[in-house]
Structure 1
Amino acid sequence: MALSTASSTACTHTSALPLSHQLVLVTGAGRGLGTHLARSFLEQGARVVVNYRRSEEGAKALVADYPERALAVAADVCDRAAVDAMMARAREHFGGPVTTLINNALPDFAFDGDARPGPDELTWAHFDHQLQGVARGALNTVQAALAGMREVGFGRIVNVGTNLFQNPVVPYHDYTAAKAALLSLTRTLAHDLGPDNITVNMISGGLLRTTDASRATPEAVFELIAASTPLRRVTTPEEFADAALLFASPWARAITGQNLVVDGGLVKG
């Protein structure tokens, strides 16, 4: 489906685009938080590439709700050739490059504190698994998207982080280390890409109620976190997705290199 002439013109060398003129790629969008992120952009009129690795059924179900503006594409973000092919498929289908990138894909992981490897059991393989999926995956998608963003003079990159940097209530050592690397990449990329009118930001949530990754979390943990937040409730995936809309919107055109914590006020700054 090609972009209309009006949309194509609007996408050319502008400091900010309305969400309805953006072509958004959400990685890991076939399930969990990724589905909520993709749906939030679709509800705002954006065109969305629904990336998935194994969750084909979920990705295609989402596309079925928005057949004119959504496209499901399978690709492992750790595979640069597959990511390049996904970008090419998006351009072919929508008639223009990806303008907005949401790096949400997460290697296989369950937020179950009782099952996490402790300091004595940790291996480098745990860290490598997370670093590959989080940091390498984001590097692949960013590099694959840059030419298209520079072509239209506009880009928005939003990386999904965690508030466990500031509040390691459950020390998921490997997961948190990978997200810390992603925060560093966020800030250094923001410095380098600012002159191209490409902003790079991170959203760091806490425990979300509920995603596929948090289904293993005991109810007592949800209750403890809810009681500890000023809002007295656990943040939802839909509320988290609101922050992604903000960073992609014209209202955030001067915001880059930031890490916004979205957890109901549990963690400050």
Structure 2
Amino acid sequence: MKLTERKLGDFTLTWLRGGLTQLDGGAMFGVVPKPLWSKRYPNNEMNQIPLRADPILLQAGGKRILIESGMGNDRLTEKQKRNFGLVEESQVLLSLQTLGLTPEDIDIVLMTHMHYDHANGLVANRDGKLSSVFSRAVIYVQELEWAEMREPNIRSRNTYWEENWRPIENQVQTFGSELQVLPGISMHHTGGHSQGHAIVRMESGGELALHMADLMPTHAHQNSLWVLAYDDYPMDSIFGKEKWVKQGIKDGALFTFYHDAVYRAVKWNEQNELIEAINVE
């Protein structure tokens, strides 16, 4: 299996293969008219767009850190597979095997939020029992996110599943506005997509990367006003992008993606021109 890798100073980022879905383009681009967004991102005759769910393995400071967890395997019913447009299930374990690693080699998991398409890969169904995949890892989740995960509301209960938190609850550590994971690696609460949504900031050797997660799920969502219909707090998404994306571009940041089916990561200049792009293999 061929995996994409990118050095960031002393850090190494490797994209694992966590699955592929196809969701409604209108939902993914909210109020943006299709004639606009369809010029920026591929779509099929059913108005669906391809969305990967590929975790990033971050090797830094002697630790192996996973950002997000993938779609998982055998976690969806046939109805859910149809509704979520599942094309490919997770190959995270095979990806790790390609690198000579096992799930037990993961030290830390950074969860930007706990929606099913990010959290399903945390849990596996083994002999009819759900258990933690990355059993030795500390799992970091923002405190508001973790609270809603366990007690979802009428809107969020379709994406926060009890079977995704019970098997891992003893591994979870929560944080408030900011968490320093390791030197050069931090998580920052943004809200927006969900109340407890967070992003990941990585800096090493004079290089900066920002993992915006679902505030900017694809390169086509760079515009601050292009937010998802799925966002629970769209104005917070807009404010978060105004702060982090605009400053990141000024600082020469590499923006990494979990969902983008075209690019793994991109870098823009202040004229919004693409000056670096790592393609999905």
TM interval, short-chain normalised:
0.3 to 0.5
Q: Give the structure with the larger strand fraction.
A: 2
> What TM-score does the superposition give when structure 1 sets the normalisation length?
0.35
> What TM-score does the superposition give when structure 2 sets the normalisation length?
0.34
Structure with higher RCO (Cα < 8 A, 6+ apart): 1
